[in-house]
Chains A and B, each alone.
Chain A
Amino acid sequence: MTPEREQELLKKLADAVVNYDEDMAREGANEAIAEGMEPRKAIFDGLVVGMQECGRLYEIQEYFVPELLMCADAMYAGLDLLRPLLQKDDSKPRGQVVMGVVQGDVHDIGKNIVKMMFDAAGFTVHDLGRDVPLEKFVEEQIKTDSEIVALSAMMTTTMLGMRSIIKMIRERNPKAKIMIGGAPVSEQIASMFGADGYAKDATNALKDAIAMISSLKDM
């Protein structure tokens, strides 16, 4: 493949995501596969670059939640074709995350955005959804042996539930890293509850998660 063609294809994949065009994402992925592009390259230099641009457009209020969800669908359409072709070594996820909105809380818009960014970065996300019973987080962490548990709450009372979840996880598996977020949560609350991390938005959540995974690998 010529460098020009490679650039053209990567741009097509990125644009498909930014323009939330699922068909174009599939077409781009199929062309990449047919023309022998490394799947890893197509994913990370194509689709994911597009998703990062969507995150930027969201931050400057050019895109809003529906647009982001559709961009993510375009990204998933491409990923579905490319992921199965990853080499063994490459196909190992970057890390696993159990994620959900705690019991009594239906506010899941923010959590879904965080999930999207984690998917884009190559994490395997076990999404428990919203209004999740507290013990479910503990069970799922043990079942999947995930490195990270990410808890979201948008109300104060439901935020208090996080404290119990953190306590239960610490008792069962002290190694798991726990990050929390949502509008009422703050750095202070995170340390008071004994969480390992807090982030105010999806971009920072991802940065923290990547740092947590590297710290675990160093151990």
Chain B
Amino acid sequence: MAMSIRDRVLGLFSGQEVDRVACYSGMGNVTTAGLAEYGYKFPSIHGDPGKMANMAASSYRLFGFECAVVPFDMCVEAEALGCAMNAYEDVNQLLYPTIKEKIIHSNDEMTRITIPGDIHERGRFPVVLEALRLLKNDVGNEVPIGSWFLGPFTMAGQLMDLNDLFKLCFKKPDQVNSMLDILSDLIIAMVPRYRAAGADYIVIREMGAPTDVLSPRTFRQVIKPHLEKIFRSIPSPKILHICGDTNLIIGQMNDVGAEAVSVETKNDLVKSRETIGIEPLLFGNVDAYNILVNGTPEAVGEAVLRSLAGGVDAVWPACDIWPEAPLANLKAMVETTQKYGASNWARKTRADQ
């Protein structure tokens, strides 16, 4: 009998033998095809738990993606802390929500930040929690339910001016570190609630910290300690994702205590394997825009094979799937993984020898 999707995805973390590489994600994967199926407008799905859950499940239903993940935008944590969000209700193109009002404007406000005890009732946390519950009931027996948080540094970038944050990493590293420590507590407080609501696995996305932006040295000083604390404190399965260039920091990413590391297309997987070796779980890195949206199904197939050749243990899009990706491409991603996910799985072929 074929293995269930849930066992395939979750078994990998618990050390079970699984039949092949899975094709899923820990990041957003809403599609315009899903939106059309339900007649939803993109801005409306971020604040409505039913719509959010339906969109997350639609990727499983429409192209066999082996997961269901909420939320889709990066404003949830910042809103719960008091920021105002813009969903671009009146704009015709597909735009992702952004923070329009930040809450930290001075050093003083930075040191005064606290996590309210009822944080789970603030902003859209109740929406996400409800969406997780709905998903659990809807597709929770078939696919694993995933969710994610921004890493503390990326979260801080939503709360205050990013340029100031960058400079303060050098000028006032202690203040920055104590703020990031507090923001880490938000994640540590919320993960168990997400889990209780139905999330099977959690991803921490520290998108603001690739070497396109920060040096490996700064990563060591202001990013790594907080990720270590978070991963020490949250339950398994737990995954770290960073977009952009990560080859220079892949060793550190592998060291923070996540059970798997996910990387973007800019990461050279072969080099990463040279650095971290063959043992750690590495996920990635099908280009979520240039290939999944602009490529042909053949190009998608090739990209999946490249990721497998690079030694991934799960085929993940490199970031949120860009919603306009055509269904034919998304199906090609899943089908190529189904077809080659056992024969081309480096971990498996090594073990069989």
Contacting residues of chain B (310-339) with chain A, CB-CB under 8 angstroms: 322, 324
CB-CB < 8 A to A67: which residues of B?
170, 215
Contacting residues of chain B (83-99) with chain A, CB-CB under 8 angstroms: 86, 88, 91, 93-96, 98-99
CB <8 Å contact, B214 and A66:
yes
CB <8 Å contact, A156 and B293:
yes
CB <8 Å contact, A66 and B94:
no
Total cross-chain contacts (CB, 8 A): 62
CB-CB < 8 A to A104: which residues of B?
88, 91, 93, 95-96, 98
CB-CB < 8 A to A86: which residues of B?
none
| Residue interface mask B202-215, A partner, CB < 8 A = 1 | 00000000011111
Contact of A66 with B95 at beta-carbon distance under 8 Å, contacts A104-B88, A109-B162, A112-B163 already known: no
Bound CA–CA A147/B169 (angstroms):
36
CB-CB < 8 A to B166: which residues of A?
65-66, 69
A103 at the interface (CB under 8 A from B): yes
Q: Which of A63, A70, A109, A161 contacts B167 (CB 8 A)?
A: A70
A158 at the interface (CB under 8 A from B): yes
Contact of A64 with B218 at beta-carbon distance under 8 Å, contacts A104-B88, A104-B93 already known: yes
Bound CA–CA A109/B211 (angstroms):
13
CB <8 Å contact, B94 and A157:
yes
Bound CA–CA A20/B169 (angstroms):
14
Chain A at the B interface: SS class: helix
Q: How far is the CB of B208 from chain A (nearest CB, A)?
A: 9
B340 at the interface (CB under 8 A from A): no
CB-CB < 8 A to A61: which residues of B?
211, 215, 248
Q: How far is the CB of B263 from chain A (nearest CB, A)?
A: 17
B289 at the interface (CB under 8 A from A): yes
CB <8 Å contact, B98 and A131:
yes
CB-CB < 8 A to A6: which residues of B?
none
CB <8 Å contact, A103 and B211:
no
CB-CB < 8 A to A106: which residues of B?
98-99
Contacting residues of chain B (275-301) with chain A, CB-CB under 8 angstroms: 289, 293
A184 at the interface (CB under 8 A from B): yes
Closest residue of chain A to B289 (Cβ to Cβ) is: A156
| Residue interface mask B91-119, A partner, CB < 8 A = 1 | 10111101110000000000000000000
Closest residue of chain B to A164 (Cβ to Cβ) is: B93
Bound CA–CA A155/B88 (angstroms):
15
CB <8 Å contact, B214 and A158:
no
Contacting residues of chain A (60-85) with chain B, CB-CB under 8 angstroms: 61, 63-67, 69-70, 73
Extra contacts, 11 of them, besides A61-B248, A157-B324 (Cβ < 8 A), are A63-B215, A64-B213, A67-B215, A69-B166, A73-B167, A103-B95, A104-B93, A104-B96, A156-B322, A157-B93, A184-B289
Binding site for A on B (CB under 8 A): 86, 88, 91, 93-96, 98-100, 162-163, 166-167, 169-171, 211-215, 218, 248, 289, 293, 322, 324
